[in-house]
Amino acid sequence: MDASTGKNNMAGSASLNLIDFGFQNSNLFQHMPLFDEISYAGHNEDKVRQYKALREGQTCNILSLNFIRDDEKILWDAVEDFVKRSTISATSSLHGVYIFDLLTIDIHKEIKTFKHAELTTVIINTASRLAPGEIKMIKYSSVYALIQKTIDSDWGKITFKTAVDVFKDKPDYLDLLIKRLLKDYEFSRDPVVLLLNDLSQNPIFDPQNEAQQTRIKKVLASLIPNSVEFLPEVYIQDKNGAREFYEFSK
């Protein structure tokens, strides 16, 4: 962790343009506006991931939070275990210490189609070519992950990392996740995109939930007097697509 920022960073990831690896086709960005460049800048203790992006010549920060509803957590636990077991299996064929950071995955696709041996092979083929300090994207099916070799060794070790929040509140309180993203936004000097990425099969956002919509509008309305230069773009994305929220505050 970077003590100055409170973020868990993967050194060197800022030099990778994730778009070159198809990241804009991932379930995190597939419904979002197009970007020219996207690089990863780490995540904080609240599981909020930060990306740096370039769009139409303008740099911006993207703060994203992957989350799933509590009653579907068992699905996330199963898929997380699938991927983790692949990293464990790969270690016997590697020499060195690695960090594997799972950026995003389509839980509901992989619960049906995931092939443990195939991801293990992709990890081995990618990791075995890395020099200490080097970082690469791993792409398998809907899996998008960064892997970094930290040091050489006579044995293999992979530290598995991910960041998915389990939403345990009632759907009425979806605004609490927006507030979590805003904690990081308050200190930004560049344009900001705030992205809530709902991995649930039964999405939490509900346009017919009056209490939920009222709370969201209240949070977004509070942004306007605090926004000196740039009003943040606020999106929620789920299996139904992406919706931009800022208009709710008008």
Q: Are residues 24 and 41 in the same domain?
A: yes
d(CA 37, CA 226): 28
Out of 161, 184, 212, a domain closes at: 161
d(CA 99, CA 67): 22
Q: Is residue 105 part of a domain?
A: yes
pLDDT at 119: 98
DSSP string, the chain: -BTTTTEE--TTGGG--GGGGTGGGSTTTTTSPP-SEEEEEEEETT--EEEEEEETTEEEEEEEEEEEEGGGHHHHHHHHHHHHHHHHHHHTT--EEEEEEEEE--HHHHHHH--HHHHHHHHHHHHTTPPTT-EEEEEETTEEEEEEEEE--SSEEEEEE---EEE-S-GGGTHHHHHHHHHHHTT--S-EEEEEEE--SS-S--TT-HHHHHHHHHHHHTTGGG-SS-PPEEEEEETTEEEE-GGGG-
pLDDT at 7: 53
Mean pLDDT of the chain: 88
Q: Is residue 108 part of a domain?
A: yes
Q: Are residues 126 and 76 in the same domain?
A: yes
Residues of the domain holding 105: 72-161
CA nearest 250: which of 237, 236, 234? 234
pLDDT at 5: 42
Q: Are residues 169 and 244 in the same domain?
A: yes
**Number of residues written out for the chain:** 250
Q: Are residues 126 and 104 in the same domain?
A: yes
Q: Is residue 121 part of a domain?
A: yes
pLDDT at 47: 87
Q: Is residue 5 part of a domain?
A: no
pLDDT at 4: 37
Q: Are residues 83 and 140 in the same domain?
A: yes
Total domains present in the chain: 2
Q: Are residues 64 and 170 in the same domain?
A: yes
Per-residue pLDDT of the chain (250 residues; tens, 9 = 90+): 443 344 555 655 657 999 999 999 999 998 898 999 999 998 777 789 999 999 999 999 999 999 999 999 999 999 999 999 999 999 999 999 999 999 999 999 999 999 999 999 999 999 999 999 999 999 999 999 999 999 999 999 999 999 999 999 999 999 999 888 877 666 556 788 999 999 999 999 999 999 999 999 998 887 665 555 667 888 999 998 999 876 444 4
Contact between 40 and 103 under an 8 Å Cβ cutoff? The reply is yes
pLDDT at 100: 97
Q: Are residues 182 and 245 in the same domain?
A: yes
**CATH code for position 145:** 3.10.330
Radius of gyration from C-alpha coordinates of the chain: 18
Threshold 0.85, pTM exceeds: yes
